[in-house]
Structure 1
Amino acid sequence: MNIASILILCFLAVTFIQSGYDKVSDWKGNVEWLKGHFAKTFIRNRVPELLMLILALELVSGILCLVGVVELLVTREHVYGFYGAVFSCIALILLLLGQRIAKDYDGARTIAIYFIPAVMAVYWLA
Protein backbone atom coordinates (compact mmCIF):
# COMPACT_ATOMS: atom_id res chain seq x y z
CA MET A 1 0.00 0.00 0.00
CA ASN A 2 1.35 3.41 -0.96
CA ILE A 3 0.64 5.94 1.81
CA ALA A 4 1.55 8.80 -0.55
CA SER A 5 -1.25 7.74 -2.90
CA ILE A 6 -3.71 7.67 -0.01
CA LEU A 7 -2.65 11.14 1.13
CA ILE A 8 -2.94 12.63 -2.36
CA LEU A 9 -6.35 11.00 -2.87
CA CYS A 10 -7.46 12.50 0.46
CA PHE A 11 -6.16 15.89 -0.70
CA LEU A 12 -8.05 15.65 -3.99
CA ALA A 13 -11.23 14.39 -2.30
CA VAL A 14 -11.25 17.30 0.16
CA THR A 15 -10.44 19.79 -2.59
CA PHE A 16 -13.19 18.72 -4.97
CA ILE A 17 -15.93 17.78 -2.50
CA GLN A 18 -15.53 21.11 -0.69
CA SER A 19 -15.45 23.01 -3.99
CA GLY A 20 -18.58 21.20 -5.17
CA TYR A 21 -20.32 21.91 -1.88
CA ASP A 22 -19.42 25.61 -2.20
CA LYS A 23 -20.90 25.73 -5.70
CA VAL A 24 -24.13 24.04 -4.59
CA SER A 25 -24.55 26.08 -1.39
CA ASP A 26 -24.03 29.43 -3.17
CA TRP A 27 -25.00 28.67 -6.75
CA LYS A 28 -26.44 32.12 -7.45
CA GLY A 29 -23.42 33.94 -6.01
CA ASN A 30 -21.00 31.77 -7.97
CA VAL A 31 -22.91 32.27 -11.23
CA GLU A 32 -23.01 36.05 -10.74
CA TRP A 33 -19.31 36.28 -9.89
CA LEU A 34 -18.34 34.09 -12.84
CA LYS A 35 -20.52 36.10 -15.24
CA GLY A 36 -18.43 39.11 -14.32
CA HIS A 37 -15.20 37.10 -14.52
CA PHE A 38 -16.02 35.95 -18.07
CA ALA A 39 -17.87 39.09 -19.20
CA LYS A 40 -15.36 39.90 -21.94
CA THR A 41 -14.99 36.35 -23.25
CA PHE A 42 -16.79 34.16 -25.75
CA ILE A 43 -18.18 31.95 -22.94
CA ARG A 44 -20.00 34.80 -21.13
CA ASN A 45 -23.43 33.46 -22.15
CA ARG A 46 -22.66 29.87 -21.11
CA VAL A 47 -21.58 30.41 -17.49
CA PRO A 48 -24.38 28.43 -15.76
CA GLU A 49 -24.02 25.43 -18.09
CA LEU A 50 -20.24 25.39 -17.80
CA LEU A 51 -20.42 25.79 -14.03
CA MET A 52 -22.75 22.77 -13.90
CA LEU A 53 -20.22 20.76 -15.94
CA ILE A 54 -17.41 21.76 -13.57
CA LEU A 55 -19.60 20.96 -10.56
CA ALA A 56 -20.36 17.48 -11.91
CA LEU A 57 -16.69 16.80 -12.67
CA GLU A 58 -15.61 18.02 -9.24
CA LEU A 59 -18.16 15.87 -7.41
CA VAL A 60 -17.35 12.79 -9.47
CA SER A 61 -13.63 13.39 -8.91
CA GLY A 62 -13.99 13.93 -5.18
CA ILE A 63 -16.26 10.94 -4.63
CA LEU A 64 -14.06 8.62 -6.71
CA CYS A 65 -10.99 9.78 -4.77
CA LEU A 66 -12.76 9.21 -1.45
CA VAL A 67 -13.92 5.74 -2.50
CA GLY A 68 -10.39 5.14 -3.79
CA VAL A 69 -8.95 5.80 -0.31
CA VAL A 70 -11.34 3.26 1.22
CA GLU A 71 -10.59 0.80 -1.59
CA LEU A 72 -6.83 1.11 -1.02
CA LEU A 73 -7.20 0.65 2.72
CA VAL A 74 -9.60 -2.30 2.52
CA THR A 75 -8.63 -4.25 -0.59
CA ARG A 76 -5.29 -2.70 -1.63
CA GLU A 77 -6.79 -2.19 -5.09
CA HIS A 78 -6.67 1.21 -6.77
CA VAL A 79 -9.21 1.30 -9.60
CA TYR A 80 -11.44 4.00 -8.06
CA GLY A 81 -8.47 6.04 -6.94
CA PHE A 82 -6.96 5.93 -10.40
CA TYR A 83 -10.17 7.13 -12.04
CA GLY A 84 -10.62 9.74 -9.32
CA ALA A 85 -7.16 11.09 -10.10
CA VAL A 86 -7.84 11.06 -13.85
CA PHE A 87 -11.14 12.92 -13.42
CA SER A 88 -9.36 15.35 -11.11
CA CYS A 89 -6.84 16.10 -13.85
CA ILE A 90 -9.62 16.62 -16.38
CA ALA A 91 -11.46 18.99 -14.02
CA LEU A 92 -8.26 20.94 -13.35
CA ILE A 93 -7.46 21.22 -17.06
CA LEU A 94 -10.93 22.65 -17.71
CA LEU A 95 -10.55 25.06 -14.78
CA LEU A 96 -7.15 26.09 -16.14
CA LEU A 97 -8.66 26.64 -19.57
CA GLY A 98 -11.32 28.90 -18.05
CA GLN A 99 -8.73 30.95 -16.19
CA ARG A 100 -6.64 31.33 -19.32
CA ILE A 101 -9.72 32.38 -21.36
CA ALA A 102 -10.49 34.99 -18.69
CA LYS A 103 -6.84 36.08 -18.74
CA ASP A 104 -6.62 35.40 -15.00
CA TYR A 105 -3.01 34.26 -14.97
CA ASP A 106 -2.70 34.23 -11.17
CA GLY A 107 -5.73 31.95 -10.97
CA ALA A 108 -4.24 29.73 -13.68
CA ARG A 109 -0.99 29.50 -11.72
CA THR A 110 -2.90 28.38 -8.62
CA ILE A 111 -4.63 25.62 -10.58
CA ALA A 112 -1.27 24.42 -11.90
CA ILE A 113 -0.18 23.86 -8.29
CA TYR A 114 -3.15 21.50 -7.77
CA PHE A 115 -2.41 19.72 -11.03
CA ILE A 116 1.00 18.45 -9.88
CA PRO A 117 -0.27 16.11 -7.13
CA ALA A 118 -3.19 15.03 -9.32
CA VAL A 119 -0.80 13.89 -12.06
CA MET A 120 1.39 12.22 -9.44
CA ALA A 121 -1.65 10.24 -8.28
CA VAL A 122 -2.42 9.17 -11.86
CA TYR A 123 1.20 8.03 -12.28
CA TRP A 124 1.36 6.13 -8.98
CA LEU A 125 -2.03 4.47 -9.40
CA ALA A 126 -1.67 3.54 -13.11
Structure 2
Amino acid sequence: MDNFMTHIVSITILLFLLITFLQSGIDKIADWKGNLGWLKEHFSKTFLSNMVPLLLGSILIIEIITSILCIGGIYHLIMDNHTGFGIAAMFAACITLLMLLFGQRVAKDYPGALTITCYFIVAVFGLYVITS
Protein backbone atom coordinates (compact mmCIF):
# COMPACT_ATOMS: atom_id res chain seq x y z
CA MET A 1 0.00 0.00 0.00
CA ASP A 2 2.94 2.30 0.65
CA ASN A 3 4.16 2.06 -2.96
CA PHE A 4 0.64 2.70 -4.24
CA MET A 5 0.35 5.93 -2.26
CA THR A 6 3.88 6.99 -3.20
CA HIS A 7 3.11 6.61 -6.91
CA ILE A 8 -0.61 7.39 -6.95
CA VAL A 9 -0.28 10.19 -9.55
CA SER A 10 1.84 8.06 -11.87
CA ILE A 11 -0.48 5.07 -11.45
CA THR A 12 -3.53 7.20 -12.22
CA ILE A 13 -1.91 8.59 -15.37
CA LEU A 14 -0.84 5.09 -16.42
CA LEU A 15 -4.44 3.93 -15.96
CA PHE A 16 -5.63 6.83 -18.12
CA LEU A 17 -3.13 5.95 -20.84
CA LEU A 18 -3.96 2.24 -20.57
CA ILE A 19 -7.67 2.92 -21.09
CA THR A 20 -6.90 5.30 -23.96
CA PHE A 21 -4.60 3.01 -25.92
CA LEU A 22 -6.18 -0.34 -25.08
CA GLN A 23 -9.63 0.87 -26.12
CA SER A 24 -8.20 2.38 -29.29
CA GLY A 25 -6.36 -0.83 -30.14
CA ILE A 26 -9.41 -2.99 -29.46
CA ASP A 27 -11.52 -0.69 -31.64
CA LYS A 28 -9.03 -1.00 -34.50
CA ILE A 29 -9.12 -4.80 -34.24
CA ALA A 30 -12.91 -5.02 -33.85
CA ASP A 31 -13.64 -2.61 -36.71
CA TRP A 32 -10.57 -2.79 -38.93
CA LYS A 33 -12.58 -2.29 -42.12
CA GLY A 34 -14.47 0.73 -40.77
CA ASN A 35 -11.33 2.37 -39.43
CA LEU A 36 -9.47 1.71 -42.65
CA GLY A 37 -12.26 3.18 -44.77
CA TRP A 38 -12.51 6.30 -42.62
CA LEU A 39 -8.74 6.82 -42.61
CA LYS A 40 -8.41 6.29 -46.38
CA GLU A 41 -10.91 9.11 -46.86
CA HIS A 42 -9.26 11.23 -44.14
CA PHE A 43 -5.84 10.99 -45.83
CA SER A 44 -7.05 10.82 -49.46
CA LYS A 45 -5.54 14.18 -50.41
CA THR A 46 -2.21 13.71 -48.63
CA PHE A 47 1.08 12.02 -49.42
CA LEU A 48 0.10 9.33 -46.89
CA SER A 49 -2.91 8.14 -48.93
CA ASN A 50 -1.22 5.01 -50.29
CA MET A 51 0.24 4.02 -46.92
CA VAL A 52 -2.92 4.03 -44.79
CA PRO A 53 -3.18 0.24 -44.21
CA LEU A 54 0.50 0.02 -43.21
CA LEU A 55 0.24 3.07 -40.96
CA LEU A 56 -2.96 1.79 -39.32
CA GLY A 57 -1.28 -1.54 -38.58
CA SER A 58 1.79 0.23 -37.21
CA ILE A 59 -0.29 2.43 -34.91
CA LEU A 60 -2.25 -0.62 -33.73
CA ILE A 61 0.95 -2.45 -32.79
CA ILE A 62 2.37 0.60 -31.01
CA GLU A 63 -0.88 1.14 -29.09
CA ILE A 64 -0.89 -2.47 -27.91
CA ILE A 65 2.78 -2.27 -26.87
CA THR A 66 2.05 0.97 -24.99
CA SER A 67 -0.89 -0.72 -23.25
CA ILE A 68 1.28 -3.66 -22.17
CA LEU A 69 3.93 -1.26 -20.88
CA CYS A 70 1.23 0.60 -18.90
CA ILE A 71 0.14 -2.65 -17.26
CA GLY A 72 3.76 -3.48 -16.44
CA GLY A 73 4.33 0.05 -15.14
CA ILE A 74 1.35 -0.10 -12.79
CA TYR A 75 2.34 -3.56 -11.57
CA HIS A 76 5.98 -2.65 -10.90
CA LEU A 77 5.20 0.67 -9.24
CA ILE A 78 2.88 -1.08 -6.79
CA MET A 79 4.81 -4.32 -6.25
CA ASP A 80 8.46 -3.30 -6.16
CA ASN A 81 8.63 0.51 -6.44
CA HIS A 82 10.37 0.16 -9.84
CA THR A 83 9.73 2.98 -12.34
CA GLY A 84 11.35 1.54 -15.49
CA PHE A 85 8.18 0.15 -17.09
CA GLY A 86 6.21 3.27 -16.16
CA ILE A 87 8.80 5.52 -17.76
CA ALA A 88 8.84 3.34 -20.88
CA ALA A 89 5.02 3.36 -21.01
CA MET A 90 4.73 7.12 -20.73
CA PHE A 91 7.50 7.67 -23.27
CA ALA A 92 5.85 5.19 -25.67
CA ALA A 93 2.55 7.04 -25.16
CA CYS A 94 4.26 10.34 -26.03
CA ILE A 95 5.79 8.87 -29.20
CA THR A 96 2.46 7.30 -30.21
CA LEU A 97 0.64 10.57 -29.68
CA LEU A 98 3.27 12.46 -31.67
CA MET A 99 2.74 10.03 -34.55
CA LEU A 100 -1.02 10.56 -34.36
CA LEU A 101 -0.53 14.33 -34.14
CA PHE A 102 1.65 14.24 -37.25
CA GLY A 103 -1.11 12.43 -39.14
CA GLN A 104 -3.77 14.89 -38.03
CA ARG A 105 -1.63 17.85 -39.03
CA VAL A 106 -0.87 16.31 -42.44
CA ALA A 107 -4.61 15.73 -42.95
CA LYS A 108 -5.23 19.34 -41.87
CA ASP A 109 -7.59 18.09 -39.14
CA TYR A 110 -6.76 20.82 -36.65
CA PRO A 111 -9.57 20.03 -34.16
CA GLY A 112 -8.34 16.41 -34.14
CA ALA A 113 -4.78 17.60 -33.59
CA LEU A 114 -5.95 19.72 -30.66
CA THR A 115 -7.60 16.70 -29.05
CA ILE A 116 -4.37 14.71 -29.37
CA THR A 117 -2.49 17.62 -27.83
CA CYS A 118 -4.64 17.31 -24.70
CA TYR A 119 -3.68 13.64 -24.37
CA PHE A 120 -0.05 14.52 -25.04
CA ILE A 121 -0.02 17.03 -22.18
CA VAL A 122 -1.22 14.31 -19.79
CA ALA A 123 1.45 11.88 -21.06
CA VAL A 124 4.26 14.45 -20.78
CA PHE A 125 3.09 15.42 -17.29
CA GLY A 126 3.12 11.72 -16.35
CA LEU A 127 6.65 11.37 -17.70
CA TYR A 128 7.69 14.39 -15.67
CA VAL A 129 6.07 13.08 -12.49
CA ILE A 130 7.49 9.58 -12.74
CA THR A 131 11.03 10.81 -13.43
CA SER A 132 11.05 13.46 -10.69
Using structure 1 for the length normalisation, give the TM-score. Answer: 0.97
Deviation readout 1:65-113 (Å, 9 max, x if unpaired): 1111111111111111110000000000000000000000000000000
Structure with max Cα Rg: 2
Do residues 48 (structure 1) and 53 (structure 2) align?
Answer: yes
Superposition map of 1:84-95 within 5 A: 84-95=89-100
User: Shift in Å at residue 122 of structure 1?
Assistant: 1.3
CA RMSD of aligned residues (A): 0.7
Using structure 2 for the length normalisation, give the TM-score. Answer: 0.93
Do residues 73 (structure 1) and 78 (structure 2) align?
Answer: yes
Aligned to 1:60: 65
Aligned to 1:110: 115
- Rounded Cα–Cα distance in structure 2 between residues aligned with 1:99 and 1:90: 14
Aligned to 1:83: 88
- For structure 2, the residue ranges without an aligned partner over 5 or more in a row are 1-5
Moved segments of 4+, more than 6 Å: none
Count of aligned pairs: 126
User: Shift in Å at residue 52 of structure 1?
Assistant: 0.8
Do residues 22 (structure 1) and 27 (structure 2) align?
Answer: yes
- Rounded Cα–Cα distance in structure 1 between residues aligned with 2:7 and 2:93: 19
- Rounded Cα–Cα distance in structure 2 between residues aligned with 1:21 and 1:54: 12
User: Shift in Å at residue 53 of structure 1?
Assistant: 0.9
- For structure 1, the residue ranges without an aligned partner over 5 or more in a row are none
Which amino acid in 1 is paired with 2:62?
L
SS in 1 for 2:47: coil
